[in-house]
Structure 1
Amino acid sequence: MLRLDDLLIFVQTAEAGSFSAAARQMDLTPSLASSCIQRLERELDARLFVRSTRRLRLSEDGERYLPHARSILAAVEGGQHVLAQERREISGTLRLSAPSDFGRNVLAPWLDEFQQSHPGLSLHLRISDQNADFFQQSLDAVIRYGVLADSGLVSLPLAPGNLRTLCAAPAYLERFGTPQTPDDLRQHNCLRYVMGEVTHERWSFQLPDGAQTVTVTGNRVSDDADVVRRWAVAGLGLIYKSRLDVFADLEAGRLVEIFPTTYGEPAPLQLVSSHRTAVTPALQKLREFLQSCCQDRVPAPLV
């Protein structure tokens, strides 16, 4: 069985050009260094050095084996570094902003679990459906749906395959019927939300024969997406929301998906940072954790 110490002495000797020089670098005696090389040669059944009274040089087998020995040592060192990084406790403060519905009902419980694993971490969470300002609000990251438009920011995907899904409470569907096509939405009460000054009332669907957009109407509008979802659960109308937001309601039967999930409009979830230097180890660990949390809630695309 190969010993890492022997490999290290072999590499050091090859680079130093003598047993004595390698031994000095490793605080060993020349005889011990020579013994380690002899043991390695027996294990490999190969002669690694050509020895003479005046000089020491690598043999042909030694020349061929040297890059592999270096690669083995580098792999071991890399593995030790990864484990050390994993064991290193993250600490400090993470200041985050998230959309209202996702932040309150999905993200908050996930953050509880994340903080239990990293008790040295302090979390500051802002809940808002409005655009966040990194600098005025001193944010480390913003969690948002959609594709990043500002190239000056850094986007770390959390759920790139997430889609919007059309759904309603069973009570609503029993009373008013289930839409069969996007055109049928014109005859239904569609619950809408406002972001900024824009009301999201043009609902797009990716149908087999192409995209279709329908302008919907309804008797309730809010600038808080969580409120809109609660209206739908109460049986007051249809909603068209991120599947991540309504996953728990679908699992519990409080809401029912109406069209196949693959017809939904893309709604990728991003973790957005102001600059690459702002992506700290704590933020990277949070990103990996949230990615794993999102994985089972996003349906696999049809092939």
Structure 2
Amino acid sequence: MLKLEGISSFVAIKEAGSMSAAARRLHVSKSVVSERLSDLEKSLGAALFHRTTRKLNLTEDGAAFLERAQRIMQEVHEAAAELAERRGTLVGPMRLSAPVTFGRMHLGPALCPFLAQHPGISLTLELDDKRVDAAAEGFDAVVRHGVVEDSRLVAWPLAPSQRYVVASKAYLRQHGTPRALNQLAAHKAIYYSNRGVTDWAFLDAKGQDFVRPKAVLRANNGDIMKQACLAGLGLALLPSFIAGPEIAAGSLQVVDVGRKVPPELIYMAHPDGRKVSAKLRALAEHLKAAFGQPPYWEAAANTARPKAKAK
């Protein structure tokens, strides 16, 4: 007879990438995960993984079993959650992915009161600046900044987001303050490496113009970008949820080149075709209220932004 814990361990190993990572996710020892997998393989009469010293790869039988195993675990979690929801409570596991800096500065603090209000929820939050495959990697949802690039995801807007060209006072004193778009090319820039070459886009009546100042640093993390900008290394295009406190304090200044950067979104996205749990909907509504409309970080940044000149 197949045991649910064995199926759960098999799915966790595939999604987490190793037995050790699966054990951490399931809150058991590595030996327990290994034993459960062995019992499952004996029950099925088939090996599910090719075992090597470096990693585990699915066998042909394992690949065939995986989709059904994931579906079984999803159905079990949804059934348990649905019964709890019928009793008016939100319970069960939930797994989210979010960017590192946004997670540290805003998502983490917003999650704490939600979890305190719903103690039956067991949340796993994984912070990573790279884009993850929500469905393949077993996430209930991802929280992201920007535009939705994956057509397999259904997105719920949480808050608007605006980015600004910013620089330290020291950098502007040394290199001058650009006042027009064509002056940006003479400056140095700090780039977010997870975005493409068309990242620095500026709006006008005809559409968008793209400017690429010389790169002094490329980084895949907003905290590093902000530190480099504060150190006077160059201009940076940062969202107000990262640079808002420094803009308000005056340690970073907004550089107005006469064009706006296209607005973006903070959004939560879940895999298309999957039944959405009440706890995920409740979390989305909680985050919207916690961030505010407009979001509190935008209000902080606006207190120190230069006022538009009268024409």
Per the alignment, residue 73 of structure 1 pairs with none
The separation in 1 between residues aligned to 2:92 and 2:250, in whole angstroms, is 40
- Which residue type is aligned with residue 147 of structure 1? V
Q: Does residue 111 of structure 1 match 2:111?
A: yes
The separation in 1 between residues aligned to 2:249 and 2:115, in whole angstroms, is 26
Q: Name the % identity.
A: 31
Q: 2:179, 2:258 within 8 Å by CA — same for their partners in 1?
A: no
Q: 1:178-204 CA deviation, whole Å, 9 max, x = no partner?
A: 221122211212101212xx6546411
Per the alignment, residue 229 of structure 1 pairs with 226
Cα 1:230–1:253 change in 2 (3 A) is same
The separation in 1 between residues aligned to 2:258 and 2:121, in whole angstroms, is 37
Per the alignment, residue 23 of structure 1 pairs with none
TM-score (norm 2): 0.60
Q: Does residue 250 of structure 1 match 2:239?
A: no
- Which residue type is aligned with residue 215 of structure 1? R
Per the alignment, residue 202 of structure 2 pairs with 205
Per the alignment, residue 241 of structure 1 pairs with 238
Cα 1:285–1:171 change in 2 (3 A) is farther
Cα 1:262–1:202 change in 2 (3 A) is closer
TM-score (norm 1): 0.61
- Which residue type is aligned with residue 254 of structure 2? E
Per the alignment, residue 178 of structure 2 pairs with 179
Name the SS for the 1:263 alignment partner.
coil
The separation in 2 between residues aligned to 1:122 and 1:155, in whole angstroms, is 22
The count of aligned residue pairs is 213
Per the alignment, residue 293 of structure 2 pairs with 295
The separation in 1 between residues aligned to 2:261 and 2:269, in whole angstroms, is 23
The answer for unaligned runs of 5 or more in structure 1 is: 1-84
Q: 1:218-270 CA deviation, whole Å, 9 max, x = no partner?
A: 22111223311221133322111222332233233332222289812222222
Displacement of 1:273: 0.1
Cα 1:210–1:251 change in 2 (3 A) is same
The separation in 2 between residues aligned to 1:140 and 1:150, in whole angstroms, is 15
